Amino acid sequence: MGAISAALIRDSYGKLISLGVLVAGILPFIVDRGYIDVAITVALIAPIATIFVLMAARREEA
């Protein structure tokens, strides 16, 4: 669902929300495989990267 909406949405904020849904959907599969360290890293990096992308998108709009 997140990949389809990320491909179709043109708004940068909507695209980021779609990518967040995509990451949230992948995270349980990473944990199920036993890669807890990778899941923790993804859970920490994804929100920080989202903040930086939002700041960059705001600068482009201004």
Is 90 exceeded by the pLDDT of residue 32?
Answer: yes
For the chain, where are the alpha helices, taking DSSP H only? 2-8, 12-32, 36-61
What is the distance between the alpha carbons of residues 29 and 27, in angstroms, rounded to a whole number?
A: 5
In sequence order, the 6+-apart residues with CB closer than 8 A to the CB of 24 are 2
Average pLDDT over residues 1-5: 72
Q: State the amino acid at position 54 in one-letter form.
A: L
In angstroms, the CA 24 to CA 21 distance is: 5
Please tell me which residue, 28 or 11, carries the higher pLDDT value. 28
- Domain hosting 6: range is 2-61
Residue 6 in this model has a pLDDT that exceeds 90:
no
How many domains, the chain?
A: 1
38-52 residue pLDDT tens: 999 988 998 888 888
